[in-house]
Each structure stands twice: as C-alpha cells, then as structure tokens.
Amino acid sequence: MRILKLLALAALLPACSGHTVYRFEVDLLSFIPENQRAGSLTVPPGGIQVLLPGQGGQPVSLPGAKALLDGRMQGALEVVNNTALPLTASLEVRVGPAGDQNLFDGDQDVRWGIAQADLNPNETRVIALDLPLDSSAPAVYTLVKSGDFRIGLRIGFSTGAGSVRYALQREDLTLRLKPFNLIPNP
C-alpha cells in the first residue's frame, strides 16, 4: 500500500511541474561600462545622440528562450537641462539579430520602444520606460524568442544649446519562461 502511495505521488509531481513558470532577470545596465552610464554633453543646435553600449549594442544569449511566455523591459534615465533653451530628451530601446552590427540603421533591427520628455532650462526629469514583451510587438518578441539577439539604447537630445547631464539609473529585462512548452504535444 505504501509503495502505491509513493508511485501515485511520483506520478503527480511531473504534472504539477508542467505549470511551473521561471522568471529570468537580466540587469542590462551591468553590460554598459560605468564610465558610459552617465555624462555631460554640449548639445549643438541640431541635437546629439549617445549609443549604448555602442553602435552594435549588447549581444544577449538566452538558452531556453524558445519557452518564452512574455516579459518586460524597464528603464530610467535622469536628465538635467543646463541649456538656455527648452530641450527634448529621449530614451529608445532597439533590438536586432545576433549578427547585426548596427542596431540603429533600420536594417534587420527594430525599435522596441521610446520614451521622451520636454525639459525647460535648469529642469531635471527622469524619463521612465516600461515596455511589454509579448505578441503585441511580434518582431521584438520573435527576436528575443530566438535566444540570440542584440539590444541597444539610444539617448537623444534635440534643440537646446548648451550643457546637458544624463545618468542611466535602470535597464532591466525580465522574461517569463515555461520550459514545459518545449515538449511537443502529441
């Protein structure tokens, strides 16, 4: 009788674990060198941009990403407008395939999302970014689900004419994976 109870329990455990969802968190800020996370720039009349961690972005490899359910990208950028004019600042996230060496040329890469804010002279603002990762953005979802992709940030400043300070405060990628989705249904 005791053996039957153990066998029944052993049979139930795999069924329960089939509903398990794993949460995978990546601190993308850690991939950006500390000396690039904050800085001061002189904004020319035509504007200026900063590409982080560079033109090619950061390669990301996620084993088991084919089990992706959904996810979220959250970011925060603090901007101080020391110019004499109003300034528009933006924080953009772009994603591309693993072989894309320029995430900002529109060739194979896509914009995941952008947030922007208008700042008056001597104003400080935090630009927050909260982007869902699901089938509502199929191009981004497909790239991340491939398991090998690149991700990059573009910080942009337009108008203004003077000094601007910026500091990346947060760049987190959170994914929810269900490994049992990898098992084919008969």
Mean pLDDT by 10 residues, the chain (186 residues): 46 55 86 91 89 92 86 96 91 95 92 95 95 90 93 89 91 85 54
What pLDDT does residue 162 have? 80
Determine the pLDDT at residue 83: 85
- What is the per-residue pLDDT for 183? 56
Contact 163, 41 (CB under 8 A): yes
Q: Say if residue 97 is preceded by a cis peptide, omega within 30 of 0.
A: no
What is this structure's pTM? 0.83
pLDDT in the model for residue 150: 94
The predicted pLDDT at position 31 comes to 86
The per-residue pLDDT for 11 is 47
